[in-house]
Amino acid sequence: MSSLLDFLNRLFGRVEKSSSDIAKKRLRLVLVQDRSNMSPEVLEELKEELIGVLTRYLEIDEVGMSVELDKSDDSVALVASIPVKSVKVRVPKIRSLEPTGVSE
């Protein structure tokens, strides 16, 4: 019965998205968000390591800095706002020659 109805609907141009397509689309979006949940501790660790790398090149304002995961409907972005005080004028040394000061 219902397939006859479907057929008639299609015949008269009332194409409706199937409920499984809708489910698939909704699941895709919600899982992007679910999977991006980072614990505050891990985010803090990420921030510390970022500071370690950045200070090799820049003098930054660590207090005014923010690092966040920004979740919109269909994507997740790491949004960092890092006030720069000055750019260090030097040729960056090769990594392996200098301890980075980044703690594990």
Name the segment binding other proteins (CB under 8 A); options: 1-9, 62-70, 84-92, 94-102.
Answer: 1-9
Going by their DSSP bridges, the two strands 76-81 and 66-71 should be labelled as antiparallel
Backbone angles phi, psi at 16, to 5 degrees: -110, 145
Contacts 24+ apart (CB under 8 A), 89-95: 92/56, 92/57
Q: Please list every residue from 14 through 73 that binds other proteins, using CB under 8 A.
A: 18-21, 23-24, 26-28, 30-31, 34-35
- Min. distance of Cβ 20 from other proteins in angstroms? 5
β-bridge mates for residue 78, sequence order: 69
User: Which of residues 30 and 78 has its CB atom nearest to other proteins in the complex?
Assistant: 30
Q: Which residues bind other proteins (CB under 8 A)?
A: 2-3, 6, 18-21, 23-24, 26-28, 30-31, 34-35
